[in-house]
Chains A and B, each alone.
Chain A
Amino acid sequence: MKKTLTLLGMLLATPSYAEEIWVTNEKDDTISVIDVATLEVTRTIPTGERPRGITFSHDFSRVYICASDSDAVQVMDPETGKILNDLPSGEDPEQFVLHPDDRHLYIANEDDAVTTVVDVETRKVVAQINVGIEPEGMAVSPDGSTVIATSETTNMAHWINTESHEIFANTLVESRPRHAEFTHDGAALWVSSEIGGTISVFDTETQAELADMKFEVQGVHLDRVQPVGFEFTEDGKTAFVALGPSNHVAVVNAETYEVEDYILVGRRVWHMAFSADKSLLFTTNGVSGDVTVIDVARREAVKSIKVGRFPWGAALRP
């Protein structure tokens, strides 16, 4: 069925039917659009300077891009690739998360130790929250009540109440936290620490630490095993963790916190996105400038796709 649809889409030459992975190229100021059916780059779209975080609105009619060095979050029409407008983002937006209300973006301003909350409809800054030095990882709980900002140099996860826009808890994590995600049920928060080499798991209710996962890649010095981006499978039972310059992705059992597998990918793997049916996983490899396609069921890399320089963020457009 999916194949037929894709084929139909190609026949009609209307790209909106094709399932795509959008990848930001940090050092090219572009987005590479990968067709999930053909596993080829079909479009390269210019963006503002140093694009990193990327996410779609819930109806996929808009794509938000952190153009870090342009000090803006850009709003793009994914059909035309045209920039519709810029959002006031604060300085050096690196990463962000879209609230379940589809209306508020929580943006990490890396140079300013601030999290900026922007209303995408009024295009106004709703709040700025002082956080630690170099905020980067951003997560929102499924119920929308809590947003997390992690700060790379302060080494904390800051728990922000989305009603009051105030921090209600700070939890120390290991060195240089990079990415945060709530589990699908919202019960736990995962935070990766690049230099610490770990993923810490916190209980959402109490903010108590539940577990601390370590990674070991055969033949790679521990210092180079640096967890950054990660994603959960749909059933929430498995997590795929990018391990940076170890050039591997770890497959973690999200219930036992045990590492089940390591998959060799490109160099300095950053972030990732699943295809719509979750059968394929696309990882951005910063140093090698490519995207590795992983067959999720077989846990194998099946293809490398050349994209722009320093691919960073990835997002699915179904």
Chain B
Amino acid sequence: MRLIAYTSVIFWLSVSSLQAEVSVKVGYLRQMLDRPPVLSNLDPVPDDLGLAGAQVGLADNQTTGGFLGHEYTLSHTDVPVGGDVLAAARDMLAVSSLLIVDAPAAALLRIADMPEAQGAILLNVAAADVALRNADCRANVFHTLPSDAMRADALMQFLVKKKWVRLAMISGAHDKDAALADVFRASAEKYGLSIAAEKAWNFDTDMRRNAAQEVPVFTQDLGDHDVLLVADTRDDYGRYIPYNTWLARPVVGTEGVVPAAWSPVVEQWGAAQLQSRFTDGAGRTMRPQDYAAWAAIRTIGEAVTRTGSAAPDVLRAYILSDEFELAGFKGRSMSFRKWNGQLRQPIPLSTSRALVAQAPLEGFLHQRNELDSLGLDQPESQCTAYED
């Protein structure tokens, strides 16, 4: 299997060197992060998170490119914690105007606002912040990672469908947890659900030993509810909530049934093939950020394939046109929202063992595209950078 894969890459190289009419250089810029310790080390964040997805997307593009005389290369730069991300971005943009950015929102915005980045295509694969698709949007930034709002809306559609309408919520002390809790509140309201009780997770004890004692007491005063929402963005305490609650209630959010861009349990719509291509290459299962990076490089590939050009302005116009469609192994054609550059996509809701549902769920209609029932829709978006 491996051997065949390498052979085909060599085959591609020899073909493309003969007839490379279009050369497509893509950069992958990653801001390394200082990750604070979490309660359990059971699921470490992989070193190649995101990047491994880009590699699979690159190989997909290269195969197609081999038949068309289009050559794709991916260069990758890691900026250490505290390093100069702008200098790194400047260096990469000097080589290519197609840049995948794997960095928090603040760094992404600083890169997008550099003079060197004007006219470039930046693809955000790591920051799910709603603001980046709203008032803080930039005309040179596309988002292949779904926003928190898209994931929250997917979850709320599921809860409505299940008639689990009385919610309780636990959120962590981290800023990101608070931000996600805000998104959950807004989304619940959008779908007519109420969050009756909320508590902040404020333990500094080692839950691995005493979750069975602490969590029932902690959840006892939430009152009656149908379902418990958890906002634990750092994957810190959430794993200790299910089966330890005072009432026997399902857990959803960042734990239990989780809405995400991708999950290793997605297997329909040809997804099994993408999963196995990824696992063969990376030696692990595919995560949401890997999927976003795969979709980013495939977006470029699809636009280059259809336009025969690597010029950023040509690609941008095509990506935002009605002709653009990306087959993303989630059963529906994916495309970009013209008002904020977000890739519209189905959101799988899954446990660690199986797909539970996939949003948009049946019955949630939209006048233009059912996928636009997830996340910021045109009328509510405050993004103006995309207006011509």
A contact residues vs B (CB 8 Å cutoff): 91, 110-114, 130, 132-134, 151-156, 158, 167, 170, 172, 174-176, 194-197, 221, 223-224, 245
Contacts and interface: CB of A to CB of B under 8 A. Distances in A.
Contacts of A221: 369-370
B333 A196 contact: yes
B8 A172 contact: no
B8 A111 contact: no
27 contacts: A91-B4, A110-B273, A111-B273, A113-B8, A114-B4, A114-B8, A132-B63, A132-B64, A132-B67, A133-B63, A133-B277, A134-B273, A151-B63, A152-B327, A153-B63, A153-B327, A155-B64, A155-B302, A167-B67, A176-B270, A176-B327, A196-B325, A196-B333, A221-B369, A221-B370, A223-B333, A245-B331
A197 B276 contact: no
Chain A interface SS verdict (over half): loop
Name the 7 nearest CB pairs between A and B, nearest first. Answer: A195-B327, A154-B64, A175-B327, A176-B327, A170-B67, A223-B332, A195-B333
B72 to A, nearest CB: 13
Nearest to A112: B4
A113 B12 CA distance: 12
Contacts of A175: 325-327, 333
B67 A158 contact: yes
Interface string B314-345: 00000000000111000111000000000000
A5 to B, nearest CB: 42
B199 interface: no
Interface in B251-293: 270, 273, 276-277
A195 B332 contact: yes
B236 interface: no
A152 B306 CA distance: 15
Contact of A152 (B11, B270, B326, B371): B270
Contact of B276 (A111, A132, A172, A223): A111
Given A155-B305, A223-B371, 17 more contacts: A91-B1, A110-B273, A130-B66, A132-B63, A133-B64, A151-B63, A152-B273, A154-B63, A154-B67, A155-B64, A158-B67, A170-B67, A175-B327, A176-B270, A195-B325, A223-B332, A245-B331
Interface size class of B (residues with CB under 8 A): 20 to 34
B235 interface: no
Contacts of B305: 155, 172
B68 interface: yes
Contacts of B270: 134, 152, 176
B333 A130 contact: no
B116 interface: no
Interface in B3-23: 4, 8, 11
Contacts of B136: none
Contacts of A158: 67
Interface string B55-84: 000001001101110000000000000000
Most chain B C-beta atoms within 10 Å of own C-beta, residue among A167, A175, A245: A175
Nearest to A158: B67
Contacts of A114: 4, 8
Contact of B60 (A91, A133, A223): A133
B277 A197 contact: no
Contacts of B11: 130
A245 B333 CA distance: 13
A243 to B, nearest CB: 14
A154 B325 CA distance: 13
A156 B67 contact: yes
A154 B276 CA distance: 17
A156 B64 contact: yes
A111 B63 contact: no
Contacts of A156: 64, 67
Nearest to B346: A223
Contacts of B332: 195, 223-224
B373 to A, nearest CB: 11
Given A133-B64, A195-B325, A172 B306 contact: yes
Contacts of A132: 63-64, 67
Contact of B8 (A130, A152, A196): A130
A219 to B, nearest CB: 11
Interface string B338-368: 0000000000000000000000000000000
A180 B276 CA distance: 25
A303 B271 CA distance: 32
Most chain B C-beta atoms within 10 Å of own C-beta, residue among A110, A156, A221: A221
B300 to A, nearest CB: 14
A141 B312 CA distance: 40
A227 to B, nearest CB: 13
B302 to A, nearest CB: 8
B64 A223 contact: no
A220 to B, nearest CB: 11
Most chain A C-beta atoms within 10 Å of own C-beta, residue among B276, B327, B331: B327
Given A130-B8, A134-B270, A197 B333 contact: yes
A19 B121 CA distance: 59
A194 B333 CA distance: 9
A267 to B, nearest CB: 12
A216 to B, nearest CB: 15
Nearest to B330: A195
Nearest to A156: B67
A224 B360 CA distance: 12
A245 B306 CA distance: 27
A156 B66 CA distance: 12
Nearest to B365: A221
Contacts of A130: 8, 11, 66
A111 B56 CA distance: 13
A224 B305 CA distance: 25
Contacts of B60: 133, 153-154
A229 to B, nearest CB: 15
Interface in B297-315: 302, 305-306
Contacts of A110: 273
B374 to A, nearest CB: 13
Contacts of B325: 174-175, 195-196
